[in-house]
């Protein structure tokens, strides 16, 4: 039996296909700090954990091709032999928790030794340091398992540089939907060797120090809405004040800059809750009222970011959408089954309850539905029409690009309709719209 850290051709092909599909699941896949990834040596990737298998794929997508990344996952996923074999092929090992039975906790010693062996072979581990998954955009307390493994592997090297922990902060435009952005922030390596002198004298102190370092790094690379009582308020306020703070810190308007601005807003919100409890209660009331008004008006916050939409641009965009409508229809019809079958299976067949698994299911089901339906459609077209072989090949390879164009057209049309709806409400001097704008300004003033 091959070792879990081996790189057979079958795994290389599967990983290549997965990473290819993963990057196309999102409209933008942005990697910041890729130069911080070592090209060799024992490495532990430590990402925040909000989106099931997508978090692991984010790490795979940035890891060097010749370095396998072995992950840990909860042990209950390995109960069925077929699933266990698939997870083994994917280089995932089980981690046993109390809920898996006290009698199974001893098995973690074997897994622990295997993790150390992976690092001894100069391979890479992927460990979610939070220990569990939640879809809320905030960092949870880090568990100690990752540091136990790191110190055990480093002990063979003493104070010589060897084992490195790589913080990875992942930000999703949307936890569930495709065709939104993903930002993968790669932090500077944490040298475990720097903590070995302290570890020799005080293992607990060394563990606490390196845990604090990793916590700080991950906080700086994620959107950390660190609140237990006002999470929904923080979410709304972060979006409301995004453009205002973006302009305040004088950054150009792009996806990464907006993320940085949201981080700044989140820091201010945490400070308000800590230092001024009465103020955060007032902010919570404003955000709640603002959110309810937007639902009633069927508008999103981004529509109110720009109050002066030029009529000429709206007309040009409307004409463009009208002229390209046939492209949308073609792309939509040709991709109806591959695009929407995963969602149908998830909703009506698998029926998972936890939202954090939705996008993972969509992606993995799409790995099957896209090639199957594309091939079937191409065969059907080839059998129905007397076409040259090159036209049939062109048809096959044009299906996905036209599908992406259709999705982009749809998103543009939805935004256009939202702006037109806003303009209509503005012309009518809607009291609800005026109230929403007033609440928005109050929220921004409280955060600025």
Q: Where are the domains of the chain?
A: 9-221, 231-297, 311-437
Cβ partners under 8 Å of residue 94, min gap 6: 72, 73, 74, 75, 77, 78, 87, 107, 111
Pairwise CA distance, residues 192 & 158, whole Å: 10
pTM: 0.94
Tokens for 353, please give them: 């309850």
* CB-based contacts of 26, cutoff 8 Å, min separation 6: 173, 178, 179, 180, 181, 182
- Separation in Å, CA 173 to CA 51, 64, 259: 12, 25, 10
Return the pLDDT at 160.
92
Distance CA 206, CA 227 (A): 28
Q: Note the pLDDT of residue 175.
A: 93
426's tokens: 């503005």
Q: From the CB of residue 144, how many other CB atoms can be counted at a distance below 10 Å?
A: 14
Q: What class, spelled out in words, does domain 9-221 have in CATH?
A: alpha beta
Per-residue confidence (pLDDT) for residue 413, from 0 to 100: 97
Give the span between the Cα atoms of 359 and 51, in whole angstroms: 8
What pLDDT does 89 receive?
87
Contact 92, 125 (CB under 8 A): no
Block mean pLDDT (10 aa), the chain, length 448: 85 94 96 94 95 94 92 84 85 77 70 92 94 92 95 93 97 94 98 96 97 98 96 97 95 96 97 96 97 96 90 95 97 95 94 91 95 96 93 95 96 96 94 96 94
Q: Nearest CA to 195 among 204, 185, 206, 205?
A: 206
Chain centroid to Cα 88, Å, comes to 24
What confidence score (pLDDT) does residue 102 get? Answer: 60
Structure tokens at 131: 């220990």
- Residue 189 has φ and ψ, to the nearest 5°, of -60, 140
Tell which residue, 408, 255, 406, has the closest CA to residue 328: 406
Q: Are strands 43-47 and 181-186 parallel, antiparallel or unpaired?
A: unpaired
């Amino acid at each position: 039996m091959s070792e879990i850290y081996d790189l057979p051709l079958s795994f290389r092909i599967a990983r290549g296909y997965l990473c290819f599909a993963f990057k196309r699941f999102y409209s933008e896949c942005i990697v910041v700090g890729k130069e911080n990834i070592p090209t060799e040596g024992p490495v532990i990737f430590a990402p925040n954990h909000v989106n099931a298998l997508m978090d692991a794929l984010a790490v795979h997508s940035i890891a060097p091709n010749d370095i396998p990344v072995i992950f840990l996952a909860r042990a209950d996923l390995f109960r069925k032999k077929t699933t266990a074999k698939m997870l083994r092929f994917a280089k995932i090992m089980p981690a046993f928790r109390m809920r898996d039975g006290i009698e199974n906790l001893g098995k973690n010693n074997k897994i622990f030794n295997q993790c150390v062996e992976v690092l001894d072979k100069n391979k890479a581990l992927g460990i979610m340091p939070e220990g569990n998954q939640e879809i809320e955009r905030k960092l949870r307390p880090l568990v100690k398992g990752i540091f136990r493994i790191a110190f055990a592997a480093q002990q063979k090297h003493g104070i010589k540089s060897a084992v490195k922990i790589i913080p990875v902060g992942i930000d999703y435009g949307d936890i569930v939907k495709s065709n939104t952005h993903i930002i993968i922030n790669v932090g500077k390596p944490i040298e475990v060797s720097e903590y070995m002198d302290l570890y020799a004298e005080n293992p607990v102190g060394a563990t606490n120090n390196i845990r604090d370092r990793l916590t700080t790094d991950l906080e700086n690379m994620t959107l950390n809405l660190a609140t237990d009582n006002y999470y929904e308020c923080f979410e709304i306020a972060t979006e409301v004040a995004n453009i205002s703070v973006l302009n305040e810190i004088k950054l150009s308007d792009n996806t990464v800059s907006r993320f940085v601005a949201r981080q700044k807003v989140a820091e201010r919100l945490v400070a308000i809750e800590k230092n001024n409890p009465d103020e955060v209660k007032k902010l919570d009331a404003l955000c709640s009222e603002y959110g309810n008004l937007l639902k009633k008006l069927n508008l999103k916050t981004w529509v109110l970011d720009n109050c002066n939409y030029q009529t000429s641009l709206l007309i040009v965009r409307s004409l463009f959408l009208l002229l390209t409508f046939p492209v949308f229809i073609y792309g939509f019809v040709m991709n109806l089954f591959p695009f929407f079958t995963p969602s149908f299976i998830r909703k009506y067949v698998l029926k998972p309850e936890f939202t954090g698994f939705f996008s993972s299911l969509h992606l993995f089901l799409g790995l099957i539905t896209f090639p199957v339906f594309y091939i079937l459609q191409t065969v059907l077209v080839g059998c129905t029409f007397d076409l040259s072989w090159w036209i049939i090949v062109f048809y096959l390879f044009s299906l996905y690009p036209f599908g992406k164009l259709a999705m982009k057209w749809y998103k543009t049309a939805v935004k256009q309709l939202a702006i037109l709806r806003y303009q209509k409400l503005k012309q009518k001097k809607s009291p609800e719209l005026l109230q929403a704008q007033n609440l928005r300004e109050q929220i921004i003033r409280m955060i600025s």
